[in-house]
Amino acid sequence: MTDQSIYPSLYHAHHSLYTEDIPFWLTLAEECSGELLELGGGSGRVLMRLAEAGRHVYGIELDAGMLRVLRRLLSPDQRRQVRLIQADFTRFRLERRFGLVLLPCNTYSTLNAMQRQSLLACVRWCLQPGGRFAFSIPNPQLLQHLPRRSEAEAEEIFPHPVDGEPVQVSSEWRRTSRQFILTWRYDHLLPDGRVDRLSVSVAHELTAVQEYLAELRSAGFISFVQYGDFDFSSFTPDSPNWILLAQASD
């Protein structure tokens, strides 16, 4: 049985292979002056690139293990650009105002309605007048039409962060009427032929896009730009993602 404490390092090794969305977040940051706030940044996949680009970034993350990995990975130059805060990103209060708040990595759809309401109140509090809130999730309209269950599918192989032996990542999913549950299986392939497996599941709420938009309007957001992928293409029912850029009222 894999020690669960290794998961933040496995998470980083796995998800840092995914870079398709990075230019999108960097472009949004370039359009905004001043400091940025990233919520639920995990081990810093996006935050480190923002800091590398010279932006001053506040990062809020609850998981102490993720923050340990991130602090270890930050270069001296990046450390000067970053302030990390261990807190629940659905319940925080900062006495600062930001022109842009980011919630990347499909995190928004893992929250239930009460958590989203609390999060939006926090975001609204810390945004400058006319500031923007951006997040990305898998397109819920697309997920609702997938079969009930998938077969396991191999994704990546990467070196284990402790011993360098191969880690084979596979994923599978199942869909209920309300949730899309994605499970990753990390198989640590040991030299003696044993396989040490760690399984991690994430549940995404299958909330309708119009319901999300209604919640944002109630929280004080007045205009929305919707994208279907990280190339800034328009959102359609068949888009792989739903990426929202919401502007707060003055």
Give residue-wise pLDDT tens across range 13-24: 999 999 999 999
Q: What is the mean pLDDT of residues 23-45?
A: 95
Estimate the share of the chain in helix, then strand, then coil, as percent rounded to the nearest 5. Answer: 30, 35, 35
4-139+207-248 fold = Rossmann fold (3.40.50)
Give residue-wise pLDDT tens across range 131-154: 999 999 999 999 999 999 999 999
Q: How confident is the model at residue 119 (pLDDT cuts 50, 70, 90)?
A: very high
Q: For residues 110 and 202, is the Cβ–Cβ distance under 8 A?
A: yes
Map residue 211 onto helix, strand or coil: helix
What amino acid is encoded at 34 in this protein?
Answer: G
pLDDT at 3: 61
pTM of the predicted structure, to 2 decimals: 0.94
- Residues in the chain, total: 250
Orientation angle between helical segments 7-15 and 64-73, nearest 10 degrees: 60
Does residue 38 register a pLDDT over 50? yes
E-strand stretches of the chain: 36-39, 57-61, 82-86, 98-103, 127-138, 153-159, 166-175, 179-189, 195-205, 221-227, 241-248
Q: Which residue(s) pair with 149 in the sheet?
A: 174
Q: Which residue(s) pair with 227 in the sheet?
A: 234, 243
Does residue 1 register a pLDDT over 60? no
User: Domain boundaries in the chain?
Assistant: 4-139+207-248, 143-205
Q: What is the mean pLDDT of residues 217-229?
A: 97
pLDDT at 80: 94
Q: What is the mean pLDDT of residues 24-42?
A: 95
